[in-house]
Chain A
Amino acid sequence: QKEVEQNSGPLSVPEGAIASLNCTYSDRGSQSFFWYRQYSGKSPELIMSIYSNGDKEDGRFTAQLNKASQYVSLLIRDSQPSDSATYLCAVKDRGSSNTGKLIFGQGTTLQVKP
């Protein structure tokens, strides 16, 4: 059973701090990694995708991938109350390269306190 694991939280950080969200995956052959943000009662919104080892930055967001450790993380700098949401990690494994099948983690709830 291929799995994607996240700490469900809640992760609570003060406004302006760096929030660090972590995700591990079981299939070493996984190729593509995504972070989605989901506000309560809303649909998942894609915020980052990463395909190769290292860091990828987009505004206040940085995704970090370490395939050797089977670990992907999302850093949110200068956290704002509006960042409070559930963050879903999704992985496309090697066997899904032709289908696009994503395996989602259970999500981490982030609370940014003013």
Chain B
Amino acid sequence: DTAVSQTPKYLVTQMGNDKSIKCEQNLGHDTMYWYKQDSKKFLKIMFSYNNKELIINETVPNRFSPKSPDKAHLNLHINSLELGDSAVYFCASSQQNNEQFFGPGTRLTVL
């Protein structure tokens, strides 16, 4: 299946821990994104990479660090997790700046 996939689907962890979320797309797209959707369902861009180059870096705490080893993968590492980091994190991809397609999401719960 051609798609955007994310792992893990659910992540439950304690405050202060470090965790990573992985994203892969096999759509042949050159641009990938991380979004955060909070409890009020508001979806906000965090980062974007185009051909492994960071092109969007919104006002996000520097505890969040994206990494793109190649244009098909975009990972998100979060250090020193806080309660307020609890949310659903979506990866998305697009060809250049065109229509974006979303992965299934990772529901992060920080206890």
Contact A102 B42 (CB under 8 A): no
In this complex, the interface size class of chain B, counting residues with CB under 8 Å from chain A, is 20 to 34
Closest to B33 in A: A100
Looking at chain B's contact residues, is the secondary structure mostly helix, strand, loop, or mixed? strand
Also in contact, A99 and B40, with CB within 8 A (given A44-B90, A46-B100) = no
B96 contacts which of A44, A86, A100, A102 (Cβ < 8 Å)? A100
Residues of A near B20 (CB, < 8 A) are none
Interface size on A, residues (CB 8 A): 23
B2 to chain A, nearest CB (A): 14
B76 to chain A, nearest CB (A): 16
Provide a sorted-by-A list of 13 A–B residue pairs whose CB atoms are within 8 angstroms.
A43-B103, A43-B105, A92-B97, A97-B97, A98-B55, A99-B55, A100-B31, A100-B50, A101-B56, A103-B45, A104-B43, A104-B44, A106-B42
